[in-house]
Amino acid sequence: MNLNSPLTYIKGISNARAASLSAELGLHRLHDLLHYFPFRYIDRTKFYKITELIDNSSDVQVIGKVLDLKTVKQKRGSRLVARFQDETGIMELVWFKGHKWIKESIKINTPYIIYGKLNFFNGTFSMVHPEMDLVEDYKRKKQTKLQPVYSSTEKLINTGVSNKVFKGYVQNLLMQVFENIQETLSDDFRKTYQLLDKKQALLNIHFPNSPELLAKAQYRLKFEELFFIQLQLLRKKLIRKNKIKGYVFEHVGNHFNEFYNNHLPFDLTNAQKRVLKEIRKDVASHAHMNRLLQGDVGSGKTIVALLSMLLAIDNGFQATIMAPTEILATQHYNAINELLKDMNMSVELLTGSTKTKKRKEIHTSLENGELKILIGTHALLEDKVQFQNLGIAIIDEQHRFGVAQRSKMWKKNDLPPHILVMTATPIPRTLAMSVYGDLDISVIDELPPGRKEVKTVHRYDSNRLSVFKFMKQEIAKGRQVYVVYPLIQESEAMDYKDLMDGYESISREFPTPSYQISIVHGKMKADDKEFEMQRFVKGETQIMVATTVIEVGVNVPNASVMVIESAERFGLSQLHQLRGRVGRGADQSYCVLLSSFKLSSEAKTRLQTMVETSDGFKIAEVDLKLRGPGNIMGTQQSGVLNLKIADVVKDTPILTKARNAAIELLQDDSNLSKPENAAIQRTYSELAKRTGAWSNIS
């Protein structure tokens, strides 16, 4: 028997039961059951006397005897009730199912240990469907103190697979296969990282001999799990670096130098310089760059993108920026044009609303190589868009693009263009390691000098009038104001009504001609949107009423107030993005979070976090804790959600150690071909076979 055998090899598991274990819990092979770990443990050293019981619905165990059993009719069906007695008192045991079997198997007046959750009703304690062991058996079995509890489904429990039964399966399994359990890590490796051996780890994770051994078993299994994920990611990266060739941008040329020396509007921050060096090192190396650039809103990613593009152009290549929305693409186009205004450089914009004639011109100049920089939306991915020699593709706000789209872009060349993915939604570093562990990551962790922190307050709807008053004061100083409404797909109609109602009330409060208001939302035509945006950008309007279409990238340095309506309905990263729209100029900026009185505790945490910090990474950490990794972009493909025992959020220290261990191992033996790494190599290739599906995410 090996661990690939079906569950029916275990005593007590019939075909039917194996089928339901497979359907309900995804357990198919013995290996699966062996790695189906308890989700908690119960300390069964403590016994209670019936008179000591207190009404706190906890799990308890009591020693006593069943006096009698009777069936009690109820509205639907009946219940079986036993009187259970110890030397101090009497309680009840209750069954709603399986009466026949219970009646036949329970021995009256014989000592039992009962275990289960306590109920208190009409002055009597009771236990529903208790776990029962004859004291005699219990003693013989030499129970360990910590008992495993496995998560299960109602269906399984109702068909007789109680926790006790499940425990029995695992016990049988361990007895049968214990000697066949193979070590997956080498002895040296385990010694270096102080890891329990695999057999002991599996034994103690299911049936801990002591709390200390349980902790060691958990550590070992978590470490192992995270280690192999990191090993896969890092090897993939290594292979990409060695095998996939990239274009070489050998020299720093005229365009770069001219811009850098004569047209750079400010000094780069140290973080920007560092990131630029990292990029330059990549593109000069023959390897293919696949880099994620994380930088908080306003940290100055655009200039890094531009300088990277100039590097490509200096080496005879073209460059492109792809943005998720038309507004953002246009913003990039304007920003880049402005930066390059004193240089002779061809830059074009291609979006869904580019006119046919213009479109054709772009196609032609792109193919003959005259056009150097193309900025656009998804429209860049159309088949007609053919670069002569695309050297670098910069993708802004990566989470909006699917994997397929990225690879599509890449197919157009003989070599893949270097890829720089920019994101302003930082994900915590540790999660990034797991999700993007095979990418290189650069971080701009410093804001340009002179930025004032945006003062953030939380106000209730009832304070709206004072918020209006504040807006007027700021507008009187010459500032501009955003008022943003949520737009959630499920309640779109309602949301538009809110937006329009809000727009009306603001129009009443801020009447023309003293005040001018722009409004932008997703249902408007691109032209109209752009027109309204431009009025605001030019300072013709003082207030911009909008839905989250302004979420990404809009740059109006004179805007100093961000009012977010129904702020409790926004996610943390969205709030952070929105707040990033202000605080871009020299003036003190403000963010007002308006909400109703009724707030869930999660919403309270979100708003409070916004008030307390403006550090995007801290906010990302809180977001991760609130929502779990499943809701963070990129995690779905990465396998971190299928972790059996480790937790990417809670087990950060172990993750870091496991990653370093993987790095060290690969430095020493990049092919895992040394004899001492045979066990690791074997496990690695088995895993690689099974997880092949997500091995190509980038």
Residue 298: which of ligand ADP, Mg ion, none does it interact with, CB under 5 to 8 A by kind? ligand ADP
Structural contact between residues 650 and 219, judged by C-beta atoms closer than 8 angstroms: no
Could you say which residues in the range 535-564 bind Mg ion, by CB under 5 A? 553
Query: How many angstroms separate the CA atoms of 515 and 506, rounded?
Result: 10
Site for ligand ADP, residues 542 to 561, rule: CB under 6 A: 555
Closest separation between CB of residue 482 and ligand ADP, Å? 16
Q: Measured from the CB of residue 529, what is the shortest distance to Mg ion in angstroms? A: 18
Quote the least distance from Cβ 404 to ligand ADP, whole Å: 25
**Minimum distance, C-beta of residue 152 to ligand ADP, in the bound complex (Å):** 48
CB neighbours of residue 229 within 10 Å = 26
> Which one of 203, 297, 347, 697 is in contact with ligand ADP (CB under 6 A)?
297
Residue with Cβ nearer ligand ADP (7 or 297): 297
How many residues are listed for the chain in this entry?
A: 698
The whole-angstrom separation of Cα 287 and Cα 248 is 8
The residue at minimum Cβ distance from ligand ADP is: 300
Nearer to ligand ADP, 203 or 395 (CB): 395
The window from 290-298, 385-393, 531-539, 622-630 that contacts ligand ADP (CB under 6 A) reads 290-298
Query: Per residue in 485-510, is it b (16+ CB within 10 Å) or e — as a string?
Result: bbbeeeeeeebbebbeebbeebeeeb
Q: What is the 3-state secondary structure (H, E, C) of 403-462?
A: HHHHHHHHCCCCCCCEEEEEECCCCCHHHHHHHCCCCEEEEECCCCCCCCCCEEEEEEHH
Q: Which is nearer to Mg ion, 481 or 554 (CB)?
A: 554
Select from ligand ADP, Mg ion, none the partner in contact with residue 38, using the beta carbon and a kind-dependent cut-off of 5 to 8 Å: none
Binding residue count for Mg ion, defined by CB under 5 A: 1
Q: What is the CA radius of gyration of the chain?
A: 32
Tokens of 357: 């004639």
Q: Which contiguous run of DSSP H or E holds residue 233?
A: helix 211-243
Residue 583 as a binder of ligand ADP (CB under 6 A): the answer is: no
53, interface contact from Mg ion, ligand ADP, none, CB < 5-8 Å by kind? none
Q: CA-CA distances (angstroms) from residue 90 to 56, 82, 102, 151, 420?
A: 18, 10, 19, 31, 72
| Contact pattern for ligand ADP over residues 611 through 650, marking x by CB under 6 A | ----------------------------------------
CA–CA gap between residue 128 and residue 678 (Å, rounded): 51
Binding residues for ligand ADP, rule CB under 6 A, total 17
64 binds, among ligand ADP, Mg ion, none (CB under 5 to 8 A by kind): none
Of the candidates 116, 295, 583, 634, which one interacts with ligand ADP according to CB under 6 A? Answer: 295
Nearer to ligand ADP (CB atom), residue 86 or residue 396: 396
Cα gap 117→127, rounded to integer Å = 6
State the residue number with the nearest CB to Mg ion.
553
Q: What is the Cα–Cα distance from 224 to 654, expressed in whole angstroms? A: 10
DSSP, residue by residue, 372-396: -EEEESGGGGSTT---SSEEEEEEE
Choose which of 298, 376, 616, 629 interacts with ligand ADP (CB under 6 A).
Answer: 298
Residue closer to ligand ADP by CB (options 180, 270) is 270
Give 323 or 622: the residue with its C-beta nearer to Mg ion: 323
Rounded Cα distance, 168 and 204, in Å: 15
Shortest Å, Cβ 549 to ligand ADP: 17
Closest to 159 in 3D by CA, of 19, 9, 5, 8? 19
The phi and psi torsions of 654 (rounded to 5 degrees) equal -70, -40
**Least gap, CB of 305 to ligand ADP (angstroms):** 8
CB of 444 to ligand ADP, least distance (A): 7
Judged by beta carbon, residue 494 or residue 586, the one nearer ligand ADP is: 586
HSE of 298, CA atoms in CB hemisphere, 13 A? 25
Which residue lies nearer to ligand ADP by CB, 126 or 577? Answer: 577
Whole-angstrom Cα distance, residue 232 to residue 639? 11
Residues 437-476 binding ligand ADP (CB under 6 A) are: 448
Least distance to ligand ADP from the beta carbon of 266, Å? Answer: 4
Cα torsion at 593, 597, 602, 605 (round to 10°)?
Answer: 50
Of the pair 229, 336, the CB lying nearest ligand ADP is at 336
Q: How far apart are CA 395 and CA 641, in angstroms?
A: 26
Binding mask 302-341 for ligand ADP (x = CB under 6 A): xx--------------------------------------
When CB distances are held under 5 to 8 angstroms depending on the partner's kind, the choice from ligand ADP, Mg ion, none that residue 575 binds is none
Q: How far is the CB of 299 from ligand ADP (least distance, A)?
A: 4
Reference 387, options 418, 416, 359, 363; nearest CA is: 363
Residue holding tokens 């921050």?
269
The answer to whether residues 478 and 558 touch, using CB atoms and an 8 Å cutoff, is yes
Helix (H), strand (E) at residue 350: strand 347-350
Stretch in the footprint of ligand ADP (CB under 6 A) among 111-119, 292-300, 384-392, 526-534: 292-300
CA–CA separation, 37 and 207 (whole Å): 10
What residues between 257 and 286 interact with ligand ADP by CB under 6 A? Answer: 266-269, 272
- Smallest gap, in angstroms, from Cβ of residue 374 to Mg ion? 18
Contacts with Mg ion by CB under 5 A lie at 553
Contacts with ligand ADP by CB under 6 A lie at 266-269, 272, 295, 297-303, 424, 448, 555, 584
